[in-house]
Chain A
């Protein structure tokens, strides 16, 4: 459901303004520019503030309050503290593991299902598609999901962080409609050459769908990285907690993270909290440019056009 940036630029190539559009007044232009700057700042300021605070010493934080934009005496104490091998380091490893395994499993299953459902003439595929799509209409809810996970013996296991959200019906629909849009002649000619359905998937469909699969992969990865509710619901053992759960108890809940040995001067509490936030944010900020490049290309357009 991204916007087709190419169509946009095609409609008004470059900065050309159609002849019938009056040029904007100076006031209007200034107001618009100001508005855009404010909106941009509203998004960027908190992020910069979090990074700034994580690098600050206690004195700077006390003077500035809340978020420090420019740390006057930058120091890495907070990061040294959280990477010393305590709760945060462990949670980071859990989160990385869950994100990698979960994303791999989700992409494999989604690709298989989307391809399997991409040809309407396949026996039963319409009914199976309905089974998947109907799940967008209702949500079984917490109690029902909890009892299911428990009765499957997944309670307090890492699998409980992955399996209950393995396939997103939305991603499935996006990928399926992408597969259906591939030129049928290519698939036919592969079949004439003797390729079976699986070979066609691996040799023809997948190489043509790199962009769509990249988007799905990134969407899954981001959602596994951010997910905290499954962990809250299905984990008993706090040693298994992923990073968002650590954020919940130590940053939002305000428990102290200090594990510094006696005699050491601990890093400021707020700086440590913000350092954990930065650790949680960095992977998203790294992945985002790729995501953004794909969805402005309009890869997802087909899904919502309907």
Chain B
């Protein structure tokens, strides 16, 4: 799939032609291209609006990154702004705020990886161990719910829980202790984000592990039990090996997105903790580019982030294939 990447930003017509020639090579075609287009015209017309969307809002914006090589001024417009070569990239690398954003991003994603990632696995094991159907379905319905609640709501709620006038401070004060405002403590920021992510997505994250747990052959458990393996040994020797592949796959894919924090989540809380702890790569681009009008340098950061991010995702997918996994995208493409 990665191989076809360079061929992609084409117009709709040429991609059609390419697909047609690939098809005609595959099997001897009786119909000419024109005949086939006529035959498929309804299907292609139905596809067209969606294809236009992807081209206009996912591929065309890539040209916007030419801004990274310009001294872009809004009032001059794109064509009139001067080319500056790699100056924006030099500015980026010499900006301490950029490096601070890199450090914050890595600190946040790694904290999430270590402390969020295992939670859905544990929760899935717990849910899977429930024998009663009713209880399990009830708990599932409850823990999936927060996934559908938006970040603005969740951040507001956590402010009520952990903020300066929140529940935590109230409880501490009623115990005679000083209050604690977690939402403005820079040192606690990665932990706050991790807590919120656990609340929002740990339940939803169990779905993929539960599916993997279901695919384990029950006979394995039975024969392990007959051989005298107890509950914990069965978990260790049957359950965990059964879901190890999916754990590795998700772990690798998570490593691939290590430069991306939950953007909306961080953006909503950056001002409360201040940019020293709350600035990540995405918010850096937003505040420097859109807010302060430093388009060129911000676009340079965005471009570097996108390239490294894409390379990491592709690399992660390759590694996942290496472990014998299908990878997310290959699976979806079939």
Q: Which of A34-42, A80-88, A182-190 contacts B (4 or more CB under 8 A)?
A: A34-42
Write the A167-202 contact mask toward B (1 if CB under 8 angstroms, else 0): 101001100000000000000000000001110010
Given known A-B contacts A119-B43, A124-B44, A113 and B51 have beta carbons under 8 A apart: yes
CB of B152 within 8 A of CB of A228, answer yes
CB of A146 within 8 A of CB of B58, answer no
Query: Within residues 69 to 126 of chain A, which ones have a CB less than 8 A from any CB in chain B?
Result: 108-110, 112-113, 115-117, 119, 121-126
Write the B1-44 contact mask toward A (1 if CB under 8 angstroms, else 0): 10011001000100111111011000000000100110110111
Alpha-carbon gap, A198 to B263, bound state (A): 40
Residues in B whose Cβ lies below 8 Å from that of A36 = 126, 130, 135, 139
Residues in B whose Cβ lies below 8 Å from that of A7 = 214
Given known A-B contacts A65-B167, A130-B4, A247-B152, A306 and B328 have beta carbons under 8 A apart: yes
The chain A residue sitting closest to B16, CB to CB, is: A124
A66 to chain B, nearest CB (A): 4
Residues in B whose Cβ lies below 8 Å from that of A145 = 57, 61, 64
CB of B160 within 8 A of CB of A131, answer no
Given known A-B contacts A125-B43, A127-B16, A138-B309, A228 and B4 have beta carbons under 8 A apart: no
CB of B57 within 8 A of CB of A148, answer yes
Write the A202-239 contact mask toward B (1 if CB under 8 angstroms, else 0): 00000000000000000000100111110011000000
Alpha-carbon gap, A126 to B52, bound state (A): 16
Q: Report if B170 contacts A (CB, 8 A).
A: yes
CB of A252 within 8 A of CB of B156, answer yes
Cβ contact of A143, chosen from B131, B143, B302, B334, cutoff 8 A: B302
CB of B57 within 8 A of CB of A32, answer no
CB of B309 within 8 A of CB of A143, answer no
Alpha-carbon gap, A116 to B42, bound state (A): 8
Alpha-carbon gap, A251 to B142, bound state (A): 25
CB of B289 within 8 A of CB of A12, answer no
Query: Chain A interface secondary structure, helix, strand, loop or mixed?
Result: helix
Residues in A whose Cβ lies below 8 Å from that of B48 = 116
CB of B160 within 8 A of CB of A274, answer yes
The chain A residue sitting closest to B146, CB to CB, is: A43
CB of A131 within 8 A of CB of B55, answer yes
CB of A252 within 8 A of CB of B211, answer no
Q: Report if B84 contacts A (CB, 8 A).
A: no
B49 to chain A, nearest CB (A): 5
Residues in A whose Cβ lies below 8 Å from that of B313 = 137-138
Residues in A whose Cβ lies below 8 Å from that of B289 = 142-143, 146
Alpha-carbon gap, A53 to B78, bound state (A): 51
Number of contact residues on A: which range applies?
Answer: 35 or more
A260 to chain B, nearest CB (A): 21
Given known A-B contacts A14-B133, A130-B333, A142 and B16 have beta carbons under 8 A apart: no
Residues in A whose Cβ lies below 8 Å from that of B211 = 1, 3-4, 301, 304-305
CB of A139 within 8 A of CB of B306, answer yes
CB of A142 within 8 A of CB of B285, answer yes
Alpha-carbon gap, A248 to B159, bound state (A): 12
Residues in B whose Cβ lies below 8 Å from that of A146 = 64, 289-290
CB of A66 within 8 A of CB of B139, answer no
CB of A135 within 8 A of CB of B150, answer no
Cβ contact of A148, chosen from B47, B60, B123, cutoff 8 A: B60
Q: Report if A164 contacts B (CB, 8 A).
A: yes
Residues in B whose Cβ lies below 8 Å from that of A257 = none
Residues in B whose Cβ lies below 8 Å from that of A226 = 148-153
Q: Report if B56 contacts A (CB, 8 A).
A: yes
Q: Report if B299 contacts A (CB, 8 A).
A: yes
CB of A39 within 8 A of CB of B143, answer yes
B177 to chain A, nearest CB (A): 14
Q: Report if B141 contacts A (CB, 8 A).
A: yes
Q: Enumerate the 5 nearest inter-chain pairs by beta-carbon distance, A residue then B residue, closest first.
A: A306-B331, A65-B170, A226-B150, A113-B50, A116-B47
Q: List 17 A-B contacts (CB under 8 A).
A: A3-B210, A12-B133, A22-B231, A32-B129, A123-B16, A131-B59, A133-B329, A143-B302, A144-B64, A147-B61, A198-B46, A226-B148, A226-B151, A229-B267, A274-B160, A288-B148, A303-B332
**Chain A residues in contact with chain B, CB under 8 A?**
1-5, 7-9, 11-12, 14-15, 17-18, 20-22, 24, 32, 35-36, 39-40, 42-44, 46-47, 49-50, 53, 64-67, 108-110, 112-113, 115-117, 119, 121-148, 152, 163-164, 166-167, 169, 172-173, 196-198, 201, 222, 225-229, 232-233, 244, 247-248, 251-253, 270, 273-274, 277, 280-281, 284, 287-288, 291-292, 295-296, 301, 303-306
Contacts A7-B214, A18-B221 aside, 11 further interface pairs with beta carbons under 8 A come to A46-B161, A123-B19, A128-B12, A128-B15, A137-B313, A228-B150, A233-B286, A280-B152, A287-B148, A291-B148, A304-B208
